Amino acid sequence: MALPLRLGEPKATAANAMLPYLLRRSCAAYPTPRLLESRLAALYGASLYAGAAKLGETHWLSLSLSVIEDRFAFAGDSLTADCAALLEELLFRPRLAEGLFSAEAVELEKRLLCERLESEQGEKRIHSIRRMEALMCGNEAFGLNAYGTPEAIMALTPADMAAAWRNLLSRAKMQITLVSAGDGAAVEATFRGAFAGITRDPVVLGGEFIPAASAVRSFTEYEPVEQAKLVLGFRVGMRNRDDHNFATRMMADIFGGGVYSKLFTVVREEKSLCYYCAARANRYKGTMVVFSGVDRAKAEEAREAILEQLAAIQEGDFSDELIADSRRSLRDTFFSVVDAPESLADYYSTGLITGEYLSPREIYERLEAVTREEIIAAAKQVTLDTVYLLCTAKKEGDAA
């Protein structure tokens, strides 16, 4: 389920983020968590999941069930159809009283969502990346946290959640993904029937792409951390999700994708300037982030070394062997998607946003076709936007 993230609507962001977790708790047919757990146990121990994340400026919400294949069940048991029916119940017929969610359930999920936000903030590597994104994209919806803010979460009411649920059914762009060896006709029929009774006006998903940074901004924030976190945010010249997408992916992987990359072999290993250093491109926003753990005293030197390696790629200073290593790693990454049903479902669910359904093999083949010249051209479009450092405040008398 996908909805746009919107600046200036903090309660809407928080409500949408909490909604999958609230819907996972119960439904009209199984009005308590205990009854729902009993139903899952009867479905051979099926597992129910909920999630909220952001892909670019899209709020990506999910409900999913994992269960054994029908062929492993007792004769006559159709677990796939039964699980589809349960998901349909959870999404379309939640437990409501006078049109509202239970106040008790809402209060519990508010607390749990705040705990998820706190847990993310407690993981300093993730927290530093999120802070850099918020500072770099403060005037863009991408700067929002997918969970919202603690203040917005705690302000939510049962009426807010009911309104968010009705908006989800009518406005969210939705996709049902089935990973199974069996026939999906029953799943399709279940959801077609559910949607038939709803007036739908799905949103048009988009995103704001800023091809180049106008200036470099630097921020330092202080928290008691054992290891300073240095995060660099770049604009990669993309004007939409498809603009030199595959060349940018290859460039980012050569830059900081694995143990073969420039950042690992030079900045970490050769120069010993960081404990870890990696780069990730975001095709949904046209950005690239470099995140590293450093000694505070070496932060500036590490920043310069990172930019030197980007400049080296822009000048074509990388070997054919490095390109081959990157391709092998990307091949392993994409081909391993099929190893687990959950990863395959997640992989294809992004088609809801991109509108394309290329197989992992097809994606890799496009990456394999990227030339050295295209990698260099992609690197030359990268501009540094934001430098963020999270470190412990110096005490009086500490060395600079």
pLDDT per position as a tens digit, 173-220: 999 999 998 889 999 999 999 999 899 999 999 889 999 999 999 999
**Per the domain annotation, does 385 fall within a domain?**
yes
pLDDT for 341: 92
Are 226 and 189 contained in the same domain?
no
pLDDT(146) > 60: yes
**Per the domain annotation, does 201 fall within a domain?**
no
Pairing mode of beta strands 217-222, 383-391? parallel
pLDDT for 197: 86
Are 317 and 356 contained in the same domain?
yes
Q: What is the mean pLDDT of residues 236-243?
A: 94
Tokens representing 6 are: 């919107």
Which of residues 196, 226, 258 is at a domain's end? 196
DSSP H/E element including 50:
strand 47-55
CATH number at residue 187: 3.30.830.10
Are 139 and 257 contained in the same domain?
no
pLDDT for 183: 84
Are 178 and 223 contained in the same domain?
no
**Per the domain annotation, does 137 fall within a domain?**
yes
Alpha helices in the chain (DSSP H): 10-23, 33-42, 79-92, 103-122, 124-136, 150-154, 158-171, 185-196, 245-256, 262, 299-314, 320-335, 341-349, 351-354, 360-368, 372-380
- Report d(CA 14, CA 112) in Å as an integer: 12
Range scoring the smallest mean pLDDT among 161-175, 207-221, 356-370, 383-397 = 383-397
pLDDT for 74: 87
- Report d(CA 350, CA 357) in Å as an integer: 8
**pLDDT classification of 98: cutoffs 50, 70, 90:** very high
**Per the domain annotation, does 212 fall within a domain?**
no
Are 187 and 246 contained in the same domain?
no
Are 353 and 284 contained in the same domain?
yes
Could you write out the DSSP letters of every residue in 96-144?
Answer: -BTTB--HHHHHHHHHHHHHHHHHHHHSHHHHHHHHHHHHHTTTSGGGS
243 burial level (CB within 10 Å; 0-12, 13-18, 19+):
middle
Is there a contact between 208 and 57 (Cβ–Cβ < 8 Å)?
yes
pLDDT(399) > 80: no
pLDDT(396) > 50: no
Which residues make beta-bridge pairs with 47?
A: 66
**Per the domain annotation, does 209 fall within a domain?**
no
- Report d(CA 229, CA 127) in Å as an integer: 9
Is there a contact between 1 and 62 (Cβ–Cβ < 8 Å)?
yes
Are 124 and 163 contained in the same domain?
yes
- Report d(CA 108, CA 53) in Å as an integer: 20
Are 134 and 225 contained in the same domain?
no
Number of separate domains in the chain: 2
pLDDT(398) > 80: no
Are 44 and 172 contained in the same domain?
yes
Residues 127-140: tens digit of each pLDDT = 999 999 999 999 99
Are 314 and 277 contained in the same domain?
yes
pLDDT for 395: 53
Q: What is the mean pLDDT of residues 30-45?
A: 96
**Per the domain annotation, does 396 fall within a domain?**
no
Which of residues 131, 162, 196 is at a domain's end? 196
Domain range for residue 228?
Answer: 217-391
- Report d(CA 74, CA 76) in Å as an integer: 6
Are 237 and 368 contained in the same domain?
yes
Are 133 and 243 contained in the same domain?
no
Is there a contact between 138 and 153 (Cβ–Cβ < 8 Å)?
no
* Model pTM score: 0.93
Which of residues 196, 228, 246 is at a domain's end? 196
**Per the domain annotation, does 397 fall within a domain?**
no
**Per the domain annotation, does 202 fall within a domain?**
no
